Amino acid sequence: MSWGLLLNSLALAVPVALAAVTAGWLVALFIASSHGRVRWVVLAGAVVSLALPPFLVVNTWLGLLGNVGVLKPLLPLDIYSHGGAAWVLTLMLWPLPCLMCLGALKRLTAEMLDAEPGLCGGPLVRSLLLPMTLPAALQSGLIVFALAFNNIAVPAILQVKVFPAQFWVQFSTSYNFALAWQYGWVLAALPLGL
């Protein structure tokens, strides 16, 4: 087992989980506070973003920021890196925390907000919104962490060395099932543990 590749997978999954939970929480607050058509458009965009296949999302970003991408002259960012893979995975997985935090925010009633009319800004976030959404944010963060840790498509296409991609390449070339069970238990243990 390659401990370096496991550490690379952890180094990719942790920032993805943190960024996806942060972005999802902020979008959930936006959806919960908006009304009418804006609310439904953003909510539909979150669901569509979650449903897109990973190879399609990666290929789109390669078309924008790849070596011959359309935006490469304007934004000289390296999409073939841990940061690029983290960016793409975050953009794929932020709807999970968004939808879970939005479900938690559904418990917020007008009476809760009317009980203290002066509660706004930072104190509102610290004393009401964060405690209300914290369990959903933590649970969704663990799910996003497991999905990012076990993702094969995005790191493989972006040529980022991580354990699941290397494991899959070794297994698909040898079809050695004993070796697959010997090294693949790590990939199954994380979601089962969660």
Q: Which two tokens stand for residue 41?
A: 């458009």
State pTM to two decimals: 0.85
Q: What does the pLDDT read at residue 113?
A: 63
Can you give the pLDDT at residue 168?
Answer: 77
> What confidence score (pLDDT) does residue 120 get?
65
Q: Report CA 117 to chain centroid distance, whole Å.
A: 35
Output phi, psi for 180, to 5 deg: -65, -45
DSSP state of 68: T
Q: pLDDT by residue for the chain (194 residues), tens digit each?
A: 577 888 888 899 999 999 999 999 999 989 988 888 999 999 999 999 999 998 899 999 999 998 888 988 898 888 999 999 999 999 999 999 999 999 988 887 666 666 666 666 667 677 677 888 999 999 999 999 999 998 888 998 888 888 887 777 777 777 877 777 777 777 778 777 77
Which SS3 state, helix, strand or coil, does residue 6 take? helix
SS3 content of the chain, % helix, strand, coil (to 5): 75, 0, 25
Q: Give the pair of three-digit tokens for residue 112.
A: 């809760």
Distances in Å between the alpha carbon of 36 and those of 23, 39, 42, 109? 22, 6, 11, 18
Q: What is the pLDDT of residue 126?
A: 72
